[in-house]
Amino acid sequence: MTVPWINMLSAPAILFLNNERKIPYLGPLHRAHLINAMHQFTTGVQSARLDDANFEHDTQASTGSTTGNWLVIL
* 72 in a structural domain: no
* 25 in a structural domain: yes
* 54 in a structural domain: yes
* 69 in a structural domain: no
* 3 in a structural domain: no
Domain containing residue 42: 13-59
Quick: pLDDT tens for 18-48.
777 777 777 888 888 888 888 777 776 566 6
* 28 in a structural domain: yes
State the pLDDT confidence band at 14, using cuts at 50, 70 and 90.
confident
Residue 68: per-residue pLDDT: 62
* 2 in a structural domain: no
pTM: 0.40
Single-letter amino acid, residue 21: R
Report the number of distinct structural domains present in the chain. 1
* 4 in a structural domain: no
